[in-house]
């Protein structure tokens, strides 16, 4: 039987998953735990029985749960179903499930918000074919969030193998790729930056996908060196809507069939409510949801665009609106800088001053003065950080993004 999951020293087959589903006819509507196999088993059991499920991060603070009670967490509920004879029967039952799955947004801009999805909205981008058989996926996302679920469904519905590398060290990730001959990776740009400077190339990887954060050409170049056999794709997805766009490089295109489902107002991307999950927190303008993502048109007639930044991440510096990602890209273009995080710090005169935390590559002797001199030739003065701090590592959010201060 095919391998389902490799998690640290443990290996689970699809036969193990089938046995667990048939043996333990209970599930936890509010599952909270660190064992990935238990999490996936609980998820599948809920779906095949058309039961509702609320997905909780393993480190979720109970103060973040809103009206949910701590007593409900991991409470078992009995299930009634006929025994499944094969994993194919299980997959078929999941595909037609009427379950409602509640996710929480990452909470990077405030209290996490609940969004309810169906299996259909979660699997809209799943592709099932003979060409997708035999793939080995590096699982590099938080499993309770949208991107993690989409990787799970893509692998599960094709009976592929998942190798858990979420939260692993740089060295451990390289070892996992080599030891398991991982073929597919989907992760946030921050994950790939953590692999730099690269130890060696990994030719087994044939597909690399980035999403969840803005990327840059320097990172694309580095990824192509680490994974010389891989096609590199960029995706746009959110907890609210799931996967919407895919692109090569940083240019996205609105499909002709979905032209009427999107609007752009004041550079902000708006999405029609028919593409979203359900949430009491959504606010609409003529049935369109404000994503908070700012874009710039590359070719408006063809629907080609680039993402610029998050609307709420613009930093007001003395009346000038600074896009922190523009400054980060300029920093990352400097030879010797491996990671950069730009943020605002309150200032009584300017409102905010621009600050940057920078991690330099091993062996680099780059100085702050050299960095400033190079920035001056690429950025206006108000976009250059007033404070630059050299750091060894960065704090990450639950979803694996760098945490803005």
Over residues 93-131, the pLDDT tens digits come to: 999 999 999 988 765 445 567 899 999 999 988 999 999
Q: What is the DSSP letter of 383?
A: G
Tell me the average pLDDT across 262-289.
89
Number of Cα atoms under 13 Å in the Cβ half of residue 298: 13
| Gap between the Cα atoms of 257 and 36, Å rounded | 37
pLDDT score recorded for residue 65: 59
Angle at 280 between CA 276 and CA 282, to 5 degrees: 50
Q: What is the tens place of the pLDDT at every residue in 341-360?
A: 999 998 877 778 999 999 99
Task: Judge whether 3-233 and 251-311 match in fold.
Answer: no
Instruction: Name the residue among 221, 178, 184 with its Cα closest to residue 201.
Output: 178
168-190: pLDDT as tens digits: 999 999 999 999 999 999 998 88
C-alpha–C-alpha distance, residues 195 and 179, integer Å: 16
Residue 205 has pLDDT above 80, yes or no: yes
Are 371 and 159 in contact by the 8 Å Cβ rule? The answer is no
Any idea what DSSP says for residue 86? S
Annotation: CATH topology of 3-233: Rossmann fold (3.40.50)
Can you tell me which residue has the tokens 């080599």? 178
Domain coordinates of the chain in residue numbers? 3-233, 251-311, 314-390
CATH architecture of 251-311: Roll (2.30)
Question: What residues have CB less than 8 Å from 388, skipping those under 6 apart?
Answer: 355, 356, 358, 368, 371, 372
Report whether CATH 3.90.180.10 matches the domain 314-390.
no
Torsional sign, CA 33, 37, 194, 242: negative
């Amino acid at each position: 039987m095919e391998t389902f999951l490799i998690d640290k020293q443990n290996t689970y087959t699809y036969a193990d998953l089938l046995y667990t589903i048939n043996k333990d006819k209970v599930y936890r509507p509010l599952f909270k735990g660190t064992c990935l196999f238990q999490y996936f088993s609980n998820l599948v059991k809920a779906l095949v029985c058309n039961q509702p499920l609320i997905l909780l991060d393993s480190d979720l603070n109970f103060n973040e749960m809103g009206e949910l009670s701590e007593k409900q967490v991991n409470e078992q509920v009995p299930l009634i179903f006929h025994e499944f004879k094969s994993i194919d029967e299980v997959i078929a039952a999941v595909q037609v499930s009427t379950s409602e799955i509640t996710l929480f947004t990452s909470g990077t801009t405030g209290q996490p918000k609940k969004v309810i999805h169906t299996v259909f909205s979660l699997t809209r981008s799943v592709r099932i074919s003979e060409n997708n058989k035999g793939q080995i996926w590096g699982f590099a996302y938080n499993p309770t969030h949208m991107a993690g679920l989409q990787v799970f469904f893509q692998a599960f519905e094709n009976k592929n193998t998942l190798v858990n590398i979420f939260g692993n060290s740089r060295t451990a990730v390289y070892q996992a790729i080599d030891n398991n001959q991982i073929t597919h990776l989907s992760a946030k740009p921050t994950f790939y930056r953590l692999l730099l400077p690269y130890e060696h190339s990994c030719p087994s990887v044939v597909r690399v996908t980035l999403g969840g954060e803005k990327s840059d050409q320097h990172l694309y170049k580095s990824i192509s060196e680490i994974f010389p056999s891989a096609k590199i794709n960029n995706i746009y997805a959110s907890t609210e809507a799931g996967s919407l766009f895919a692109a090569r490089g940083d240019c996205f295109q609105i499909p002709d069939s979905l032209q009427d489902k999107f609007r752009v107002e004041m550079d902000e991307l708006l999405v029609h409510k028919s593409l979203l999950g359900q949430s009491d927190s959504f606010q609409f303008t003529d049935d369109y949801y404000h994503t908070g993502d700012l874009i710039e048109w590359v070719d408006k007639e063809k629907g080609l665009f680039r993402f610029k930044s998050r609307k709420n991440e613009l930093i007001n510096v003395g009346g000038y609106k600074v896009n922190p990602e523009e400054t980060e890209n300029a920093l990352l273009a400097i030879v010797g800088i491996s990671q950069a995080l730009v943020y605002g710090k309150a200032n009584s005169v300017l409102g905010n001053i621009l600050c940057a935390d920078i991690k330099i590559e091993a062996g680099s002797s780059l100085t702050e003065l050299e960095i400033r001199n190079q920035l001056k030739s690429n950025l206006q003065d108000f976009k250059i950080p007033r404070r630059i701090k050299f750091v060894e590592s960065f704090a990450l959010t639950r979803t694996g993004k760098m945490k803005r201060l």
